[in-house]
């Protein structure tokens, strides 16, 4: 009985906060737009059987016929993948340095990594507007040093979006990699060096493979929210940046086309499920191989 209650808690949480909302969104994606409240039809007030008989997949067919949506998906995947790669390139050396730092300094370094979360996410993104704008701190510094003669155009470009995503989600990359490196047995590195490996070769042959789970976890923690990001491309990317999160917002709140917006959200969720399933299968395969 205790085991059943313990297992029922996460399943109830999953049912209430994921499965039921997803079922509602999926039902709306099969509906038609209407000038009503809510702005779609049919609803449960029409009767269950009448409602079910009027549902169709027209919105999903419409998404395949309009170039805007598939281009937004492709652009979002590209931006999320490149941002994840940059975050890994920046975050792995930081996590490695933290794991190799003296033990008395590690709590302080962890606190510094988590410290940005003490400030509002929106304020932190707005701060980059002041840094990257034509008259911002970055351009003023570059002009003062003499590196450039005219201000650089960074704001309202994809470059600004990459900077914003890397800065925002960097802790999500650092923490799992640091956790994997912190558990790494240092004697393995010493054994590799005793067998003739240089430090760089031992790093690639021992450290990187043993920290693979942390790398994979960090990449997923960055890639998944970056794919549906809305605030960062809206504030830093401007109108020239096409991401599915912005399209989703426009459909819901500007066009008030809830059925099409719900169809966009359902496809986005299905895209995100694929890497999650692959990650779980990889973890299960590693557990079975370990046995």
Neighbouring C-beta atoms of residue 245, cutoff 10 Å: 21
Percent of the chain topping pLDDT 90: 37
The reported pLDDT for the residue numbered 290 is 58
Distance CA 120, CA 273 (A): 28
Confidence label for 95 from pLDDT (cuts 50, 70 and 90)? very high
Confidence label for 289 from pLDDT (cuts 50, 70 and 90)? low
Distance CA 259, CA 264 (A): 9
Q: What is the pLDDT of residues 209-266, one digit of tens each?
A: 889 889 988 998 999 899 989 899 989 987 778 899 889 988 988 888 999 999 999 9
Average pLDDT score over residue span 32-45:
87
Distance CA 215, CA 220 (A): 9
Average pLDDT score over residue span 72-97:
95
pLDDT at 291 over 60: no
The reported pLDDT for the residue numbered 13 is 87
Q: What is the pLDDT of residues 168-179, one digit of tens each?
A: 999 999 999 999
Domains and CATH numbers, the chain: 66-256 (1.10.3720.10)
Average pLDDT score over residue span 34-60:
86
Which of 276, 281, 269, 274 lies closest to 18, judged by CA?
269
Listing DSSP states for 52-91 in one string gives: HHT--SHHHHHHHH-HHHHHHHHHHHHHHHHHHHHHHHHH
Which of 273, 278, 271 lies closest to 69, judged by CA?
271
The reported pLDDT for the residue numbered 35 is 84
Alpha helices in the chain (DSSP H): 2-14, 20-29, 48-53, 58-65, 67-100, 106-114, 121-132, 137-145, 158-182, 186-194, 199-202, 208-210, 212-227, 231-232, 244-249, 258-290
């Amino acid at each position: 009985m205790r085991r059943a209650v313990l297992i029922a808690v996460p399943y109830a949480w999953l049912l209430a906060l994921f499965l039921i909302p997803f079922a509602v969104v999926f039902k709306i994606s099969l509906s038609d737009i209407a000038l009503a409240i809510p702005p779609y039809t049919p609803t449960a007030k029409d009767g269950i059987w009448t409602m079910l008989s009027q549902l169709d997949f027209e919105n999903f067919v419409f998404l395949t016929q309009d170039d805007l949506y598939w281009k937004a998906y492709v652009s979002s995947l590209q931006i999320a993948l490149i941002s994840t790669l940059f975050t890994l390139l920046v975050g792995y050396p930081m996590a490695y340095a933290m794991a190799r730092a003296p033990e008395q300094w590690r709590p302080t370094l962890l606190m510094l990594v988590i410290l940005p979360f003490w400030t509002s996410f929106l304020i932190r993104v707005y701060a980059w507007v002041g840094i990257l704008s034509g008259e911002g701190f970055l351009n003023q510094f570059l002009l003062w040093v003499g590196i450039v003669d005219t201000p650089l155009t960074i704001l309202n470009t994809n470059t600004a979006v990459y900077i914003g995503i890397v800065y925002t989600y960097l802790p999500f990359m650092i923490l799992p990699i640091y956790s994997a490196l912190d558990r790494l047995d240092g004697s393995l590195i010493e054994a590799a060096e005793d067998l003739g490996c240089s430090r760089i070769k031992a790093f690639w042959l021992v450290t990187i493979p043993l920290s693979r789970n942390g790398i994979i976890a960090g990449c997923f923690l960055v890639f998944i929210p970056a794919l549906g990001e809305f605030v960062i491309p809206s504030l830093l990317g401007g109108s020239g940046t096409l991401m599915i999160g912005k399209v989703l917002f426009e459909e819901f709140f500007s066009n008030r086309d809830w059925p099409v917006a719900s169809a966009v959200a359902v496809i986005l969720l299905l895209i995100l499920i694929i890497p999650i399933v692959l990650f779980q299968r990889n973890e299960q395969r590693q557990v079975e191989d370990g046995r």
